[in-house]
Chains A and B, each alone.
Chain A
């Protein structure tokens, strides 16, 4: 069985798992939905952090923007947002019928993504002018500042947060719908990034990672390329934020929307665990991370955060290049560079020649 067959089989298995998930494991819909969203988190973080060399600690900024953008649209289409937040959601006067609820979600998700996109373009040009540690610190501040601002803004519920519209009973279990949205988003995200890394844009962000000054000297429009990359990540994170907000049903500005201490760190951890700067690394990292996290939360309750911290230390010390990086070093013929890239047009040449 050659590599192409293997790949087709792998994609088919994943697709089947994704589609049949809710029937196979009906009691784990929430965890599996989270997993698909985590894959989006890791992929989008890796676009800038791994492929472009810009380590961002503030990607939760886009997640939160998407989340608030979505829920405000969901509510605002049919009711007054300020009255809704003043009543702390749930009260009976804010009922949504099936059509309203679905319309709100379908309009809200793209609006959330759009808000995240605007945020990325506005702040990207400023923040991406900084390099290395300065960029990292600045993005950290961006996420924290956004959380603080959101918890002071009465219109969106300030520190008491916001509940997402309650789906009417007639719709049944909307978690299944959200699950499929999450799965669809992850699949589209992966497909688009897979294509993206075969274009010259993919090479351009790699060039910026390796030597930005050289890239400029060769005439690349580095600022535009960097902002574009950040914005692409932001759009997917914006969609993910809208879905996640509805999954959680309650949006706390600091613990859910702009949660640097959980999602913000996990994004980076998943990408590093799987292998920074690769296509499959973030996916593998997200899967492994979600399983270990759930196991820790189930069997080590009370110590789960200690265990997670220990995991981070172990990854950094023993697998600095991540799972995929480790596999590439030890099994270059199977996982070497080129294994997850389309074969060259004249595919007769060995793809791992001389690489150890």
Chain B
């Protein structure tokens, strides 16, 4: 499998806080890769660096061979690398269908293309994906009136509507009730298999990591601590120490 995302020796400090130190990792095309680590270990900082929220201090980030570290957020999104947020973000006053339609792929279109009324096929696709995440019945509701878990599902559907090559999910199962989690894992796997979306997932829930990912990286104190299959990492004494506080 070819490498889709390649992070090399990335460092990022905020004042005196060194959030990421010399972090390297790679995500293969079509793979599902996990990123774990205790709270404050720099996972979200790394995500934000990759999608262009802040400039990195040193290192390089390549997506399909193209250097990303100089591009801005919308440009990176149009390259086909999309992220979802830990604090779920949807367009609260718009209906679910509208949320979906405005999320449709914009890579090949300019501002003028926005002046066309949306097509039937776009609406059908929106409904299809809402059905996929189980929100079809809610399509006419304002997105802001959905429960937190439903908003997470909507955000996931919006990301799929954008037809990204790679999707980075920041804690997709946080705040979702346990029975829904299985359904979400299943949908993530299907998105990967049926729509060919490469996934890169931050997750605290080890059950999700074990079920979902092929390969997992563990960050601690901003540094890459370990990586391997979920089984290997779960039994790595350094990882256990990092979580349980031996440091």
Q: Contact residues of A with B, CB < 8 Å? A: 195-196, 198-201, 203-204, 206-207, 209-211, 213-222, 224-225, 228, 277, 337-338, 344-345, 349, 351-355
Contact = CB atoms under 8 A, between A and B. Distances in A.
A199 B142 CA distance: 18
B112 to A, nearest CB: 9
Contacts of A200: 101-102, 104, 113-118
Contacts of A209: 93
A207 B73 CA distance: 16
Question: Looking at B98, B104, B113, B140, which has the most chain A CB atoms within 10 Å of its CB?
Answer: B140
Interface centre among B74, B93, B102, B113 (most CB of A within 10 A): B102
Contacts of B73: 216-217
24 contacts: A196-B115, A199-B118, A200-B102, A200-B104, A200-B115, A200-B118, A203-B94, A206-B102, A207-B91, A214-B91, A216-B73, A216-B77, A217-B51, A217-B74, A218-B103, A219-B107, A220-B106, A221-B106, A222-B74, A225-B114, A228-B111, A344-B123, A349-B140, A355-B142
Contact of A221 (B95, B103, B111, B123): B111
B135 interface: no
A224 B77 contact: no
Interface in B93-136: 93-95, 98, 101-104, 106-107, 110-111, 113-118, 120, 123
A218 B162 contact: yes
Contacts, number: 106
Contacts of A196: 115
A68 B43 CA distance: 56
Contacts of B92: 210-211
Nearest to A200: B114
A219 B93 contact: no
Given A219-B78, A345-B123, A355-B141, A214 B118 contact: no
A348 to B, nearest CB: 13
B219 interface: no
B91 A206 contact: yes
Contact of B74 (A203, A221, A344): A221
Interface string B134-147: 00001011100000
Interface of B: 51, 73-74, 77-78, 82-83, 85, 89-95, 98, 101-104, 106-107, 110-111, 113-118, 120, 123, 138, 140-142, 158, 162
B115 A199 contact: yes
A219 B92 CA distance: 18
Contacts of B103: 218
A355 B139 CA distance: 11
B77 A199 contact: no
Given A203-B118, A215-B91, A217-B51, 8 more contacts: A199-B117, A204-B114, A206-B102, A207-B91, A214-B91, A217-B83, A221-B110, A221-B111
Contacts of B142: 337, 355
A199 B114 CA distance: 7
Given A201-B114, A337-B95, A216 B74 contact: yes
A196 to B, nearest CB: 8
A215 to B, nearest CB: 8
Nearest to B100: A203
Contacts of B78: 219
A204 B140 contact: no
A237 B162 CA distance: 36
- Closest 5 interchain pairs by CB? A219-B77, A210-B91, A201-B114, A203-B102, A214-B89
Contacts of B85: 214, 217
Nearest to B78: A219
B93 A217 contact: no
B82 A345 contact: no
A352 B95 CA distance: 11
Nearest to A350: B140
A242 B54 CA distance: 46
B93 A206 contact: yes
Nearest to A213: B89
A260 B164 CA distance: 46
